[in-house]
Amino acid sequence: MEKKIIACSLAPKALGPYCQAVETGGFVFCSGMVGVNPETNTAPEGVEAQARQIMENIKGLLSSQGLTLDNIVKTTIFLKNMDDFGKVNEIYGSYFTGNPPARSCVEVSRLPKDFLIEIESIVKR
């Protein structure tokens, strides 16, 4: 199996021993993205601001590979508090104006560095 490790400066660096994304078999598997601004290495406060930053990070990572949000086929959203579902849904939906990808959304007890949201995605080239 051939796999290509993807890393770019348009998305935050990995927080641990993993890569930003891996491409294999015509798919790009993106690691969970958090709301860190890759230019300042800081995270905004609040779930809405973190959700927007995550979507911009995903766009940046995909654009570095000649891809767009339209190439996403599946996402998983991890929320620290399911009460934020409506706010996140509104922001997330604003990034997918055409045919949105399949999606799961789950509440988790805690995320790395106490982020409020994390989104992972699977992308088809």
Domain CATH code at residue 30: 3.30.1330.40
Q: Which domain holds residue 44?
A: 4-124
Structurally, how many domains does the chain consist of?
Answer: 1
Asked if pLDDT for residue 122 goes beyond 90, the answer is yes
pLDDT value for 117: 98
* pTM beyond cutoff 0.85: yes
pLDDT for 98: 87
Which residue type does 14 have? A
**Catalytic residue list:** 105
In this predicted structure, what is the pLDDT of residue 15?
A: 78
pLDDT band at residue 26 under the 50/70/90 scheme: very high
- pLDDT of 77-114, one tens digit each? 999 999 999 999 999 999 998 899 999 999 999 999 99
